[in-house]
Amino acid sequence: MRFFIISALLIASAAADGIEQFKSEALKGISQQDEIYSHGITLQCDFGMIRHYWGEMYTCIARNLVTRHHYDYIMNATGDHMTGKTDKDVEAVYILGQRTRFLPYNISTPFNGVKAIRVEGSGLLFLNRTLKYEGPLEYLHLENNLLRTVPSWAFRGLTNLKWLSLRNNHIKYLESTMFRDMKSLRRFSASSNLIEVVPTGLFFYTPELEEVYFYNNKIRMIGGRLVASLGKLKVAVFMGNPCTQISVYDGVNVISRLSTEFTTKCGVNCVKAEEAAQDHIKDLREELQKKQECSSAMNEVQKQREYQNRMPAQPQLSAESQEH
């Protein structure tokens, strides 16, 4: 008995040592992975004066920018400046047609006065770290990418941002607190996405908002007081959605017109009624399908009976004949 107890203790001790060794090797492997996949990147720029939507700016046009890991970061920037220009004069970073799955959180670090960041057609998938910015960032365009979610903390601290565009991505939902620090936001676009629900408190922190674009989404529900706090709203475009086609460009009675539209067509009660109707339609379709299946079965039985009736009668054999 004592032998078995000692053996069991030795096995348990060896197992514990093995587990600790496994943990150590696993952590070492994770650390090595971080070293492999997380690396500093040199931002290669073609510098020049570029006319953007909001005006002309001295811009770093990124080239050969490839990011594969969310810990990738910008170390420095290289490129030939225009005569009389330096890094301090750069006002915008433009990433177009690159392979940028993850946006480096410190994309503007090499420059001191960046006001605009544009990432377009670059396969951007994730915003999983809060953007670190140098200078008063005012314009952020993340258009024509592959974004599916937008974490609420991704834009923390962007108090000077005036223009945010998430147009033409694959976003399905917007968190109600994503604009918490955007007290200066004036224009927002989330058009051509897959958004189904717009939460009531989305614009609670954006009193300066003047233009909102949500066209070509899949919106079926909108908070009734979504625009109640937007006293300066002039333009709102919601056409191309299941529950509303409203678009307002004239700035006249915008709040009341939108609120009435959202309440009567996109409110919670409307959605519940629509879902009930869809459920009823589904039940009717299932019932119809069952009737069709029953009808098909009855038709098959009828055909079998008719076929048997057309067959000539078989002669009855005696018991002796059957045996032979």
pLDDT tens per residue, range 160-205: 999 999 999 999 989 888 999 999 999 999 999 999 999 888 999 9
Per the structure block, which two tokens stand in for 151? 């974490």
Reported in sequence order, the residue ranges of the chain that DSSP labels E, i.e. its strands, are 40-52, 55-63, 66-67, 73-78, 92-96, 99-100, 116-120, 139-141, 163-165, 187-189, 197-198, 211-213, 221-222, 235-237, 247-248
- Using CA atoms, how far apart are residues 243 and 275, in angstroms rounded to an integer? 13
Q: Say what the pLDDT of residue 10 is.
A: 39
Domains of the chain: 38-267 (3.80.10.10)
104-105-110-112 Cα dihedral, nearest 10 degrees: 150
272, pLDDT greater than 90: no
56, pLDDT greater than 80: yes
For the residues 82-88, what does the mean pLDDT come to?
Answer: 94
For the residues 7-22, what does the mean pLDDT come to?
Answer: 44
| Under 8 Å between Cβ of 116 and 57 | yes
250, pLDDT greater than 50: yes
| Under 8 Å between Cβ of 290 and 297 | no
% of residues, the chain, pLDDT over 90: 44
Angle at 44 between CA 154 and CA 138, to 5 degrees: 35
Q: Say what the pLDDT of residue 200 is.
A: 83
pTM of the model: 0.71
- Using CA atoms, how far apart are residues 309 and 176, in angstroms rounded to an integer? 72
Q: What are the residues whose beta carbons fall under 8 Å from the beta carbon of 87, sequence distance 6 or more?
A: 77, 81, 110, 111, 112
% of residues, the chain, pLDDT over 70: 68
pLDDT averaged over every residue in the chain: 79
Amino acid at site 319: A
Q: Say what the pLDDT of residue 18 is.
A: 45
Q: Say what the pLDDT of residue 140 is.
A: 95
133, pLDDT greater than 70: no
